[in-house]
Chains A and B, each alone.
Chain A
Amino acid sequence: MGGLLKSSIARKVAMALSAFFLMFFLLQHFAINITSIFPDNGKTFNELSHFMGTNPLVQFVLQPVLIFGVVFHFVMGFALELKNKGARAVKYAKNNGGANSTWMSRNMIYSGLFILIFIVIHFIDFWFPELNTKFVKGDWSGMHDGEFRYFDELQHKFAAAWRVALYCIGFVFLALHLLHGFNSAFQSVGANNKYTNGLKTFGKAYAIILPAGFIVIALFHFFSH
């Protein structure tokens, strides 16, 4: 196992496994968020949010795993980028990267960096206040003025045009990152077979539909508020 944790292939597989986890999390996050545009005044969204926000398994097991997954993916991504830059000390005077690879595949570090900035803003907007309410103030009721607070908080945040614009830009970078990342993760774990072409199509659909869905949700709340 020692070799598995040290080599270039081990690092590649580790990146892929953390990516699978994050892509699954993203799907779950989307599945909950989409309920906020249901025509029930946020009832389903409030119930699901309260469950996720107070369930001990989610809060004390899955949430720490998620934080580890996010931090690991970013730290390993930046570490690998630095190492890879070092593998070519003298740069080419002329390099025609567009002739043989996609922009997305060559710029994962930049799309990743923008996603990191987006995540920090997202944490400041939603996660840090949530931690403050629950862990500092000790209020686990999820209530405000006798009603669940989650849907109102969401609508309040998305009333600001600058925030909606920022989120939309963040989701565009997420789409660019996933357009390469989804199938790259499968290739990294050695999955290249007769299903690869079908998987590529599915990956493209995932990479476009999911971020587009998040954009629709943000715009919906901006215009409906």
Chain B
Amino acid sequence: MNLTLKIWRQKSSNDKGQMVEYKVSEISEHMSFLEMMDVLNEQLIAAGEEPVAFDHDCREGICGMCSMYINGEAHGPDRGVTTCQLHMRMFNDGDTITIEPFRAKAFPVIKDLVVDRSSFDRIQHAGGYISVNTSGNTQDANALPIAKEAADKAMDAATCIGCGACVATCKNASAMLFVGAKVSQYALLPQGQVEAADRVMAMVKQMDLEGFGNCTNTGACEIECPKGISLENIARMNREYLKASLKG
């Protein structure tokens, strides 16, 4: 496949940045999108140019590092995949592909396609945990019976890899699917319910402080989420928040 790539190049967080066009040839349809980017970078290095900076780590859809807004969609046109799982067979020979970083005020660009998603970490620090005494008298994990439905839903919520595709996709750059998943995974389990009210208040407060937008229920996040996190989690977060607020 021969492709034209329009890629966002930005030297640093202070640089204005611009779209730059590149040509790549002999791309195999079996390559992942990141492997195609590797080919481009080898080409750029051979020509003495600065390679395109992009995030990646596990390259098997688990770590949530790879980002990229490809042809107007987070992680590209495929569903239920991260960019590392996106294959070049999704594109046609001769295509022009637009590649941009995830855009949000709360995800500032560091360089080229790399964005700073530490706002997610700070939301997690605000309440995405349970306080357990692990000093030698830890309970057996199975000592506390949990309903199958609750366990399944908590596990579904916990599959969120914090990649930020929800924010990148949302027309309002809202982080509510991410926060909804993190709140839900604990709120559904007895171990998490002890601190549920404090958790949701703290996480939502931090989310607002980071400058994410307000959710308007377009549902785009659910469609673009590589892990299929459901909007049900946002509704649960809203309920948890209302409950916690009314309790004072």
Q: Which one, B37-45, B137-145, B218-226, is touching chain A?
A: B218-226
A11 cross-chain contacts in B, Cβ below 8 A: 214
When C-beta atoms are compared, the residue in chain A nearest to B10 turns out to be A90
The A86-115 residues at the B interface (CB cut-off 8 A) are 86-97, 99-102, 105-106, 108
When C-beta atoms are compared, the residue in chain B nearest to A186 turns out to be B235
Closest-CB distance, A95 to chain B (whole angstroms): 5
User: Is B82 interfacial (CB-CB < 8 Å)?
Assistant: no
A99 to B224, CA, bound (A): 9
Closest-CB distance, A100 to chain B (whole angstroms): 4
A83 to B236, CA, bound (A): 24
User: Is B205 interfacial (CB-CB < 8 Å)?
Assistant: yes
Tell whether, in the assembled complex, residue A3 and residue B201 are in contact, meaning their CB atoms are under 8 Å apart.
yes
A101 and B220 contact, Cβ closer than 8 Å, known pairs A96-B73, A187-B234: yes
When C-beta atoms are compared, the residue in chain A nearest to B104 turns out to be A88
B33 cross-chain contacts in A, Cβ below 8 A: none
A99 to B8, CA, bound (A): 22
User: Is A1 interfacial (CB-CB < 8 Å)?
Assistant: yes
User: Is B90 interfacial (CB-CB < 8 Å)?
Assistant: no
Tell whether, in the assembled complex, residue A94 and residue B105 are in contact, meaning their CB atoms are under 8 Å apart.
no
A89 to B172, CA, bound (A): 11
User: Is B239 interfacial (CB-CB < 8 Å)?
Assistant: yes
User: Is A7 interfacial (CB-CB < 8 Å)?
Assistant: yes
**When the two chains form the complex, which single residue of A83, A100, A108, A180 contacts B223, counting CB atoms closer than 8 Å?**
A100
B211 cross-chain contacts in A, Cβ below 8 A: 86-87
25 residue pairs A–B, Cβ–Cβ below 8 Å:
A1-B245, A1-B246, A9-B237, A9-B241, A10-B245, A13-B238, A84-B171, A84-B216, A86-B211, A86-B213, A87-B172, A87-B173, A87-B211, A88-B105, A88-B172, A88-B173, A90-B103, A93-B100, A99-B223, A100-B169, A105-B217, A184-B216, A187-B217, A187-B234, A189-B242
Q: Which B positions have Cβ atoms within 8 angstroms of A? A: 6, 8, 19, 69, 71-73, 77, 98, 100, 103-106, 169, 171-174, 176, 201, 204-205, 207-208, 211-220, 223-224, 231-232, 234-239, 241-242, 245-246, 248
